[in-house]
Copies of this chain bind each other. A is one copy, B any other.
Amino acid sequence: MSTKIDETTTPAGATPADLGIGMRFSIHPHTDGFVEVILGALADAEAAGLTDGLVIETDEVSTYVGARTAPAEQRLAAYLSAVVAAASLRSGGGHVVAHVLLSRGCPGEVACDLTVTGLPSPAPVAIEPTGIHAAAHWSLYPLLDGGSDAGDHMAHIEGAIAAATARGTAASPAHYATKLTGDVADVLATAVDAWAQVGARVPHVVTHLTLSVGSPSPATN
C-alpha cells in the first residue's frame, strides 16, 4: 500500500468507492425504549432523503454506511447528524451516545490494496444546526507506513486540533482524545472535515468520535 501524491498536479480523482469512504456507527439511547428510538431515528433520516447515495448495513454491533459517490463526506455527516438529532428528540431529550468510526483508504474488509494516483481534497461539509448541544471525545489516526515520505503522524493530528480550536469546537485536551463541544452538527463537521483534510495527504485515515447528548453528568471542560 503506497501512494505517491504529486501536489503540483490536479488530483487524479480517486472516487469515494475507490477509497472505501464510509463509517461504522452505533447509537445508544439510555432508555428502556431504546429499540423504538433507534429504529425510529434511522427511519426518520431515510424519510428525509438522507440515505441517498449511501449503502447501509446494520448488524448486531453497529451499522456500516458506505458512501459510493461524491459528495461522500457531506452525505455521511448529514445522515449521522440527522440520526443523532432524531434519536435525541425521540427519547425526549434523554441521554443518547453515538460512537462513530470514519474510515478512508481501505476499501476492502481485511486488507488494503489501495493503489491510487491522487487523493481528492473534498470541500468542508455544511450541515444544518440541530439545536442540540453535544460533548464528544475525538481521536484521529493517520495510518502512515514506515518508509513512505508522508511524514510525522502527530503533525497531522496537531494540525487537526489547531483547526478545531480555530473553529471553536475544541474545548480541551484529554488523554488520548480531544474534547469537542457545540451543536451536534458542528461537532460532527469538525471530525469529518479533519479526517477528509488529512485524507488529502495520507491515503489511509481513520477517526473515532464518542458523542454524547443529554448527559445527566455535569459538564466539565
Contact = CB atoms under 8 A, between A and B. Distances in A.
Interface string A22-35: 11101011111011
A146 B158 CA distance: 16
A188 interface: no
Interface string A83-97: 000000000000101
Nearest to A216: B35
Interface stretch (A6-14, A59-67, A72-80, A123-131): A59-67
Nearest to A101: B176
B152 A1 contact: yes
A117 to B, nearest CB: 19
Identical copies of this chain, number: 2
Question: What band does the interface of chain A fall in when counting residues whose beta carbon is under 8 Å from B?
Answer: 35 or more
A139 interface: yes
A98 to B, nearest CB: 10
Given A145-B151, A206-B141, A217 B60 contact: yes
Contacts of A61: 135-137, 179, 210, 212, 215
Nearest to A65: B175
Interface of A: 1, 20, 22-24, 26, 28-32, 34-35, 58-62, 64, 66, 95, 97, 99, 101, 103, 106, 109-112, 135-137, 139, 141-154, 158, 161, 173-179, 204, 206, 208, 210, 212, 215-220
